[in-house]
């Protein structure tokens, strides 16, 4: 039998634990870069899920290492932008290592005199081959195109890079580093329980989850990356109109499209007054306003994971219910993810090489 998206999600606890054990070796190029001098402005070139993963981890760089992260869509960076000379580190992030736009952007950074660090799970890929240094995501090549395992592995690696930078640049102590590593290990061990709770929640709400014509997720801070990945994953798998918004940005226009068919999903690390106020305002106007929360035991409308944690780590936990939700709602809609559609797309459009 072929490997499914759910098989990949189920491997996350094991693979994330491995990444935590092996990162000092696998991310050795990060140490070498940090030894060359401080990093203040990091440019991450990435598209799709890889861009969303970068958004999940970006604030850890500023909090722990005082690094300003810019995440750029590769194509406009290549074709419309002047290279910012203040950039002192460039990571071209592509899980497959085959996105053509990211390859072109990597070349532009190299032409601007910057060493390109390629972060990928495929060391033989075109991006890896042309890069100046390789950052191995250390999850193997994901056999399913709708990436989940690679997404979570990317977020964890980026958090670990931020941690290494934080320690090297004096932003955090060795004790703080160890506390964070312990929290990450505990998070990884919590994932099987997260999966069980998510399954039960989805089964309970099956009727409304399967019948909505429009899905919207809302997050804040690093959880915007989770909301954006909701958009990417639902669009790829559920194939109904789906969007992810930043909490405050949602209040500037997007709410106006809400109607009685609309399914809203709030993503919270802990009870949040602003997110809660929006949910209560919107609830009478929509089919359902559900919440995924890292904290608490929750109510009928809330999947509560009862695992309070540092908000900077929360995306790594809260992405898992989103991934399972995409897989299960696709199945409820009768979509067979094993059947390829638009099979000639990459051949014709050359977006992946
Ligand atoms: O991280 P990569 O391999 O560059 O892929 C970026 C995006 O391209 C896709 O694989 C589609 O081509 C998406 O699923 C993914 O989010």
Per-residue pLDDT of the chain (353 residues; tens, 9 = 90+): 699 999 999 999 999 999 999 999 999 999 999 999 999 999 999 999 999 999 999 999 999 999 999 999 999 999 999 999 999 999 999 999 999 999 999 999 999 999 999 999 999 999 999 999 999 999 999 999 999 999 999 999 999 999 999 999 999 999 999 999 999 999 999 999 999 999 999 999 999 999 999 999 999 999 999 999 999 999 999 999 999 999 999 999 999 999 999 999 999 999 999 999 999 999 999 999 999 999 977 799 999 999 999 999 999 999 999 999 999 999 999 999 999 999 999 999 999 99
Are 311 and 219 found together in one domain? yes
Are 116 and 219 found together in one domain? no
Q: Is residue 338 part of a domain?
A: no
Spatial separation of the C-alpha atoms in residues 149 and 267, rounded to whole Å: 20
Q: Which of 47, 53, 45, 96 is nearest to 71 (CA)?
A: 45
Tokens for 97, please give them. Answer: 């290592």
Are 167 and 230 found together in one domain? no
- The reply to whether ligand 1 has any atom less than 6 angstroms from the CB of 52 is no
Q: What is the pLDDT of residue 296?
A: 78
Q: What is the pLDDT of residue 298?
A: 79
Burial of residue 253, with CB atoms counted within 10 A of its CB: 0-12 exposed, 13-18 middle, 19 or more buried: exposed
- The reply to whether ligand 1 has any atom less than 6 angstroms from the CB of 152 is no
Tokens for 48, please give them. Answer: 């799709």
pTM of the model: 0.98
Q: Is the dihedral of CA 94, 100, 101, 105 positive or negative?
A: positive
- The reply to whether ligand 1 has any atom less than 6 angstroms from the CB of 49 is yes
Are 26 and 78 found together in one domain? yes
Residues in the chain: 353
CA distance to 19, 58, 65, 198, 203, per residue, from 145 (Å): 21, 24, 33, 22, 25
- The reply to whether ligand 1 has any atom less than 6 angstroms from the CB of 48 is yes
Half-sphere exposure of 30 (CA within 13 A, CB side): 24
Model-level ipTM above the cut of 0.90:
yes
Are 30 and 73 found together in one domain? yes
Instruction: Find how far residue 154's CA is from the centre of its chain.
Output: 7
Tokens 């798998």 locate to 237
- Ligand 1 centre from 231 Cα, in Å? 13
Tokens 């190299």 locate to 110
Are 236 and 293 found together in one domain? yes
Identify the CATH number of the domain in which residue 123 sits.
3.40.50.10490
Q: What secondary structure does DSSP assign to 183-194, as a single string?
A: HHHHHHHHHHHH
- The reply to whether ligand 1 has any atom less than 6 angstroms from the CB of 94 is yes
- The reply to whether ligand 1 has any atom less than 6 angstroms from the CB of 154 is no
- The reply to whether ligand 1 has any atom less than 6 angstroms from the CB of 106 is no
- The reply to whether ligand 1 has any atom less than 6 angstroms from the CB of 141 is no
- Ligand 1 centre from 67 Cα, in Å? 26
Are 130 and 251 found together in one domain? no
Measuring from atom 13 of ligand 1, which residue has the nearest CA?
Answer: 48
Measuring from atom 9 of ligand 1, which residue has the nearest CA?
Answer: 48
Q: What is the pLDDT of residue 295?
A: 94
Q: Is residue 249 part of a domain?
A: yes
Q: Is residue 345 part of a domain?
A: no
Tokens 């060391």 locate to 123
Q: Which of 46, 55, 96 to mutate to test the pocket of ligand 1 (most atoms within 8 A of CB)?
A: 96
Q: Is residue 260 part of a domain?
A: yes
Please state the domain count of the chain.
2
Spatial separation of the C-alpha atoms in residues 325 and 244, rounded to whole Å: 14
Using the atom order of ligand 1, give the atom closest to the CA of residue 97.
Answer: 3
CA triple 236-302-272, angle to 5 deg: 95
Q: Is residue 106 part of a domain?
A: yes
- Examine the fold and report which residue of 113, 143, 172 is the final residue of a domain before the chain moves on: 172
Spatial separation of the C-alpha atoms in residues 147 and 53, rounded to whole Å: 11
Are 214 and 118 found together in one domain? no
Are 167 and 225 found together in one domain? no
Q: Is residue 353 part of a domain?
A: no
Spatial separation of the C-alpha atoms in residues 73 and 206, rounded to whole Å: 35
Are 291 and 152 found together in one domain? no
Own/partner pairs, 174-180, CB within 8 angstroms, 24+ separation: 180/310, 180/313
- The reply to whether ligand 1 has any atom less than 6 angstroms from the CB of 95 is yes
Spatial separation of the C-alpha atoms in residues 120 and 128, rounded to whole Å: 7
Q: Is residue 126 part of a domain?
A: yes
Q: Is residue 342 part of a domain?
A: no
Domain of 197 in residue numbering reads as 191-333
Distant-in-sequence, close-in-space partners of 9: CB < 8 Å, separation ≥ 6: 148, 149, 195, 320, 323, 324, 327
Q: What is the pLDDT of residue 297?
A: 73
Are 277 and 211 found together in one domain? yes
Are 158 and 256 found together in one domain? no
Q: Reduced to 3 states, what is the DSSP secondary structure of residue 301?
A: coil
CA distance to 85, 230, 239, 252, 287, per residue, from 332 (Å): 50, 17, 12, 32, 17
Spatial separation of the C-alpha atoms in residues 269 and 173, rounded to whole Å: 25
């Amino acid at each position: 039998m072929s490997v499914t998206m759910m098989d990949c999600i189920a491997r996350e606890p094991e693979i994330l634990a491995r990444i935590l054990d092996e990162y000092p070796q696998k991310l050795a190029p990060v140490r070498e870069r940090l030894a060359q001098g401080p990093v203040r402005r990091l440019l991450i070139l990435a598209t799709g899920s890889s861009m969303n993963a970068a958004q999940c981890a970006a604030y850890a760089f500023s909090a722990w290492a005082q690094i300003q992260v810019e995440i750029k869509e590769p194509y406009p960076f290549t074709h419309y932008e002047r290279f910012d000379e203040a950039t002192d580190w460039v990571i071209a992030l592509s899980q497959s290592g085959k996105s053509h736009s990211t390859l072109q952007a990597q070349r532009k950074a190299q032409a601007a005199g910057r060493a390109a660090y390629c972060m990928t799970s495929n060391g033989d890929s075109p991006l890896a081959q042309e890069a100046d240094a390789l950052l191995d995501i250390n999850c193997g090549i994901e056999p399913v195109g709708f990436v989940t395992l690679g997404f979570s592995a990317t977020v964890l690696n980026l958090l670990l890079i931020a941690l290494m930078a934080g320690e090297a640049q004096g932003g955090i102590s060795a004790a703080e580093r160890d506390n964070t590593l312990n929290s990450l290990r505990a998070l990884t061990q919590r994932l099987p329980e997260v999966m069980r709770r998510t399954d039960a929640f989805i089964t309970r709400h099956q009727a409304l989850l399967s019948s909505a014509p429009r899905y919207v997720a809302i997050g804040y801070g690093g959880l915007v990356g989770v909301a954006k990945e909701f958009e990417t994953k639902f669009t790829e798998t559920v194939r109904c109109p789906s969007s992810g918004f930043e909490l405050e940005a949602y209040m500037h226009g997007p709410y106006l499209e809400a109607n009685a068919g609309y399914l809203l999903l709030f993503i919270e690390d802990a009870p949040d007054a602003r997110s809660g106020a929006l949910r209560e305002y919107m609830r009478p106007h929509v089919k359902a306003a559900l919440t995924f929360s890292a904290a608490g035991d929750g109510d009928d409308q809330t999947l509560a994971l009862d695992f309070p944690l540092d908000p900077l780590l929360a995306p790594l936990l809260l992405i898992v219910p989103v991934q399972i939700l995409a897989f299960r709602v696709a199945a409820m809609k009768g979509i067979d993810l094993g059947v390829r559609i638009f099979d000639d797309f990459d051949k014709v459009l050359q977006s992946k090489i």
